[in-house]
Structure 1
């Protein structure tokens, strides 16, 4: 990828930044787009985590949108009427509401000719009440030189804050308004206000009485060859906590500028192997045609969905722990690529081409947390966003949307009573159907720090048939692997129920016991996994 001029803009944001939920609000900023007269194409892209998820897209202007039923792993595109695109109108109800009866992830795409922008939305419950006005990007012939900035010329106009209200009445102070009034902004549910951002406003606290979405946007910033295109990104809520940022060079190379909302400009070199730093808030990386939110290490996930844009070059940047990078999967396949170490970290990154792949690709990690971004390019202008984070629970079986549950009960019960008690808890007495699950469960039990574990007897769902004498799992899964201790399982007239024992210093194993003897049950519920193509 060609060297680029990049800007790092530090913004203060909450470390609690989940990207799945049940309610979202979205807007589509005005897109002048290369001065092209054609209508814009504005899309919502929704990913369902669970089967039988009903998604409803609505607005308060009476325009007919739609609802759909999605299954786990389904991604569907909703076309938004061009009349819902924002204009220079100060106050409007051009807000699109997206609601699922089960958790979903939502991304937006704005396209007009070669002007393309994508963004990942936060659910309503993760939006903030306070935001800081970010530094203004340095863009030649748009914001530079500063003396030439004027709202009389579109490509030389000010950046805008787009304030999108949620479901409650709101009073927002701090930014003034596009009419220059300067007082509090009163918003009804699902109203939007646009505010010009002057240099004097950088670092200003924008505060509301209820949650709202804040976007930072320019209608037509100069990109390449004297053409301009839409530029925007959602901002994150204020939080002063320091976060760790690891920037892979795959997100862009060349000279970088680190801008803090509290002031100051520091030029920095983003080397071919990346950079690591700490800052009180996430970072927006500015390149030709895009504002890209970085992912702080505290918000890494285990599973991400990436959507591509038709008729454009698409790729993903994946960053994972170096010692477990071979555990990354792309849909159902291992990710067989070359990796580059990020300087002074235990992370490595790679570029994954997606141009000839289907609309959605899922990246997941078997054992660790990682970060994934989507990037695209068309006619020299770039766009992109953090990939939708669907899970933060690594699992060797897939992309977890509901984590597994394992519980070692305190009661000493018979084998039969153990089955009943686990089922009362909506779980099953555990069946170790294969070696990988067995080792996984052994480590899980050891991580529970059970007192005197080497003396503790644990029931599992293994039983010998009194009819055939064969051992079987009560889950009815085939018995393809055994881990018997020396002397077990004994003859058919000995104990017909199986226990897990941690007594042997060489490692855990299985023993046979009388089913009426008492031990602690190991209750288990399998995780729910995202269905992959």
Structure 2
């Protein structure tokens, strides 16, 4: 059988956790801004991945059907002030979005210059078991030497948890809390699509549920410099998405940072071979974020990078993807890209190759870069390997919100950010090479071009078993006698899979065929172009191309 070395074997244990889907549920936490009343801007940015996408927004007792005509286009859906979740306890203020085709959803809250964006996870990514970050607000203030401006009232002196029932039936919730003497459990029920907001000051350890829920950690006003405040929002991922190895990205213009680890088994963190020791608040000191750095855990954990007014969930290396969608509130947002060092120059954006200055990450085979993205919506993708991408924005030279970009496709592809995978097929009738080429093109395809081991493996996994040989898109130039691909993205030949004794001399074969028998490992042979063989065709994938044409709508 064909033996293929996976390009990124370290990711073989990764979970597929794309952030698109057809069903979402979320809520708008309270945002205090600058401590005085100002009309909030709360919206969902819905991006269609396919043409003619119809989606429905459910809020309170209303629903609104909306349509996006163009793939890659975003609609900004604005919600009333009443959508904000102010009080503790139960509420019906959840927001649901369902769609007939795959979409992505980003939540935006703005109160004056306090801005927070949050990638809303589709319900397929939700779970029934969540480990909660132990952020004690008093310890948080002390750790960063921040003023105690709002710590006199219970409402603003602690972090909150929003637990949202994601199913259309009653859901049983169990909250595990740490008291001064022991661990206690509190159990209650939430009705269909309802939510409950709880106060937590480093006391809630875990949330379990009988059915899927969304869990959001939030604070309405975390102090930053110059007596300002900024809302914190972090949608917590279920425990199944934890990892053991993380590359901590640089955070622009942030002087102080901490690491916040959540682990079921008291995992230890290691950096540069040294164990990181937490301070009294549970935050681990972590400075010198001018470059990306490797942090490893002794067991599976979730890891967050914390600075005043900012909580960034880190991407474990088992959850790197090939393509990401980036959505910014303002133009000229910033992105951190982490890519394999050997292929870092192949990172693309929606406008072409990424032009960047890369820095190697010690202890890894990765490099990272920081770049400015001029468009408000963009994609960053890699044709042959997996990468990690973070999007961050700043106001007045301070980072105030951001996090991981939206993962779209886990599998690399030469053609771009794939939405619908390509497909291989073998023609029914034997034809010469030229007629085979015409057959593929006339049927909306092109010649199959296995330009790498990964592409060849994809062919081997998807082609039906056939006897004999078939034409592929490889032939010799009559001018230079060099082999070249018909695939315009990869004309040069850097990978070959010739059979023993192949290719034959120039006069014995200008075209290339491939064995269709898996037992012969799909080896290639040179052949005369007038010979008749079955064409091996490839239908190109549908790829995401973001549109800068935004549409505004309101609910209700």
Query: Which TM-score band applies after superposition, normalised by the shorter structure?
Result: 0.7 to 0.9
- Contact 1:429–1:461 (CA under 8 A) maintained in structure 2: no
Structure 1 Cα separation of the partners of residues 202 and 260 of structure 2? 16
* Residue 35 (structure 1) shift: 1.1
Which residue is equivalent to 1:198?
A: 201
Which residue is equivalent to 2:456?
A: 445
- Contact 1:162–1:193 (CA under 8 A) maintained in structure 2: yes
Structure 2 Cα separation of the partners of residues 514 and 207 of structure 1? 65
Which residue is equivalent to 1:423?
A: none
Encode CA deviations 1:231-251: one digit per residue, 9 max, x unaligned.
111001023864321113246
User: Which runs of no fewer than 5 residues in structure 2 stay unpaired?
Assistant: 1-13, 178-183, 267-276, 279-283, 432-441, 475-485, 494-502, 548-556
**Residue of structure 2 aligned with 1:500, choices 513, 516, 522:** 513
1:353 counterpart = 2:366: no
Which residue is equivalent to 2:180?
A: none
* Residue 398 (structure 1) shift: 1.5
SS state of the match for residue 139, structure 1? helix
* Residue 67 (structure 1) shift: 1.1
Structure 2 Cα separation of the partners of residues 32 and 481 of structure 1? 57
Which residue is equivalent to 2:357?
A: 338
Q: Call closer, same or farther: CA 1:282–1:408 in 2, change over 3 Å.
A: farther
- Contact 2:257–2:306 (CA under 8 A) maintained in structure 1: no
Structure 2 Cα separation of the partners of residues 149 and 289 of structure 1? 14
* Residue 66 (structure 1) shift: 4.8
Q: Call closer, same or farther: CA 1:134–1:89 in 2, change over 3 Å.
A: closer
Moved more, 234-243 or 506-515: 506-515
1:188 counterpart = 2:191: yes
Which residue is equivalent to 2:175?
A: 174
User: How many pairs does the alignment contain?
Assistant: 464
Encode CA deviations 1:294-330: one digit per residue, 9 max, x unaligned.
11111111111211223x7621111111111111112
Structure 2 Cα separation of the partners of residues 499 and 229 of structure 1? 62
Which residue is equivalent to 1:249?
A: 250
- Contact 1:47–1:104 (CA under 8 A) maintained in structure 2: yes
Q: Call closer, same or farther: CA 1:443–1:146 in 2, change over 3 Å.
A: closer
Which residue is equivalent to 1:305?
A: 325
Structure 1 Cα separation of the partners of residues 443 and 453 of structure 2? 17
Question: What is the alpha-carbon root mean square deviation over aligned residues?
Answer: 3.9
Encode CA deviations 1:60-118: one digit per residue, 9 max, x unaligned.
333x6451223211122111122111111411111111122111111111000011111
Which residue is equivalent to 2:341?
A: 322
Q: Call closer, same or farther: CA 1:524–1:16 in 2, change over 3 Å.
A: closer
User: Which runs of no fewer than 5 residues in structure 1 stay unpaired?
Assistant: 1-13, 417-426, 463-474, 491-497
- Contact 1:45–1:107 (CA under 8 A) maintained in structure 2: yes
**Residue of structure 2 aligned with 1:289, choices 283, 293, 309:** 309
Structure 1 Cα separation of the partners of residues 186 and 93 of structure 2? 22
TM-score (norm 2): 0.73
Structure 2 Cα separation of the partners of residues 235 and 241 of structure 1? 11
Q: Call closer, same or farther: CA 1:485–1:527 in 2, change over 3 Å.
A: farther
Structure 1 Cα separation of the partners of residues 140 and 457 of structure 2? 55
Which residue is equivalent to 1:230?
A: 231
Q: Call closer, same or farther: CA 1:443–1:316 in 2, change over 3 Å.
A: closer
Which residue is equivalent to 2:393?
A: 376
Structure 2 Cα separation of the partners of residues 114 and 147 of structure 1? 20
* Residue 371 (structure 1) shift: 1.0
1:78 counterpart = 2:98: no
